[in-house]
């Protein structure tokens, strides 16, 4: 009896596997996770109504939009449409998103519900002077202080905070340089350097806070920010972005603010807002915050709401 020979992987098969893997890496892990969740929601909708999901009819997508509009903001619906489009393109079939019925349905939702974004409130420099003295003095307090100050000073997104390794830090007499190996505006992963200057005050200096954390945690390699157990033991895994959000909410609570208005974006929003309030040039702010769109102008409006305000100039 002839033995069955194992199938040998051909060069083409190997290249196909590699191509799929590269295509997957073209998007950030958080984006892929969000797309997978959105696609799962669309599939469940189609199954429950006896409709095809892949390929989907444009009328099916329009019905999905209408259903989502009952509970979701337009921006959230738009992301789910992106997930549907990516799923179709990946499968090699035409995307139904470009159809007129989808565009007109989405336009109607925007008109009816508006496109105002619910940004998290900024944690600003004055908050540090008011609240850092109220922080815990144990290892968790030292870590959280470093996260809050570095997030602010570096205009970091929460994914950038959690992605930092100790090897990404280079200290100098002027401060510290962070190497962001991958960020929202650097999807190719070439790396972005962010310089943080040492502060003028010991209690609000982000570089000092960072050194304090590294020393307290006795870090020598690996993830910079890590979980801490209830018993005060340092974990070995990387901190989650949900924990970063929780840290800012806890800090807001110390300040007597409503924690639901604050999150992992609050430090980044704070330094940009403070920059505009101090009349720092927009180009300087955008360079530091790595903005590549006009979205940064939203912070300018926030920082200057009461500057040359009409209601204050009419003699009330």
Domain boundaries, the chain: 11-113, 125-303
Neighbours of 128 (CB within 10 A): 25
Domains 11-113 and 125-303 share a fold: no
**Under a CB-based contact definition with an 8 Å cutoff, are residues 275 and 192 in contact?**
no
Active site residue 201: no
| 72 noted as active-site residue | no
pLDDT digits (tens, 9 = 90+) for 214-240: 999 999 999 999 999 888 899 999 999
Is 143 annotated in the active site?
A: no
In the residue annotation, 265 being an active-site residue is answered as yes
Question: What span, in angstroms and rounded, lies between the C-alpha atoms of 117 and 110?
Answer: 12
User: What fold, for 11-113?
Assistant: DNA polymerase; domain 1 (1.10.150)
Q: For residue range 46-92, list pLDDT tens digits in order.
A: 999 999 999 999 999 999 999 999 888 888 898 899 889 988 888 88
Give me the catalytic one of 124, 268, 288, 290: 268
- Overall average pLDDT of the 263-284 stretch: 90
Rounded percentage of the chain residues whose pLDDT exceeds 70: 78
Q: H-type helices in the chain, by residue range?
A: 11-25, 29-48, 58-68, 74-91, 100-113, 125-131, 139-153, 158-162, 206-217, 241-254, 266-277, 282-289, 297-303
299 is known as an active-site residue: yes
- Give the CATH number of domain 125-303: 1.10.443.10
Angle between helices 266-277 and 139-153 (to 10 degrees): 50
Q: Which among 88, 124, 127, 265 is annotated as catalytic?
A: 265
Q: Determine whether 103 is an active site residue.
A: no
Catalytic residue among 88, 140, 143, 157: 157
Does 115 have pLDDT greater than 70? no
Which residue among 72, 110, 182, 184 is the active-site one? 184
CA 48 to each of CA 41, 79, 223, 303: distance values in angstroms, whole numbers, following the listed order: 11, 21, 43, 47
- pTM (predicted TM-score): 0.64
């Amino acid at each position: 009896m002839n033995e069955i020979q194992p199938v040998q992987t051909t060069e083409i098969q190997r290249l196909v596997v590699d191509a799929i893997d590269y295509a997957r890496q073209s998007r950030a892990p958080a984006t892929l996770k969000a797309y997978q969740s959105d696609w799962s929601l669309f599939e469940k909708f189609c199954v429950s109504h006896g409709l095809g999901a892949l390929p989907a009819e444009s009328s099916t997508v329009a019905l999905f939009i209408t259903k989502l509009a009952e509970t979701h903001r337009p921006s959230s619906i738009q992301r789910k449409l992106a997930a549907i489009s990516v799923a179709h393109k990946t499968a090699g079939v035409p995307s139904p998103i470009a159809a007129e019925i989808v565009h007109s349905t989405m336009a109607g939702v925007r008109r009816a519900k508006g496109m105002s974004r619910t940004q998290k409130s900024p944690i600003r420099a004055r908050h540090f002077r008011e609240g850092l003295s109220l922080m815990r003095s144990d290892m968790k307090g030292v870590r959280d202080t470093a996260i809050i100050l570095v997030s602010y000073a570096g205009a970091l997104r929460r994914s950038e905070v959690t992605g930092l390794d100790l090897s990404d830090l280079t200290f100098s007499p002027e401060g510290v340089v962070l190497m962001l190996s991958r960020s929202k505006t650097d999807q190719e992963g070439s790396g972005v350097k962010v310089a943080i200057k040492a502060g003028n005050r010991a209690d609000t200096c982000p570089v000092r806070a960072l050194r304090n954390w590294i020393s307290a945690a006795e870090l020598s390699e690996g993830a910079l920010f890590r979980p801490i157990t209830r018993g005060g033991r340092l974990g070995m895994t990387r901190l989650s972005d949900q924990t970063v959000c929780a840290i800012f909410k806890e800090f807001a609570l110390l300040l007597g603010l409503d924690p639901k208005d604050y999150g992992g974006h609050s430090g980044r929003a704070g330094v940009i807002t403070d920059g505009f309030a101090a009349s720092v040039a927009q180009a300087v702010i955008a360079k530091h915050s790595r903005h590549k769109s006009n979205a940064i102008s939203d912070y300018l409006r926030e920082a200057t709401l009461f500057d040359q305000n009409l209601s204050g100039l009419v003699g009330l």
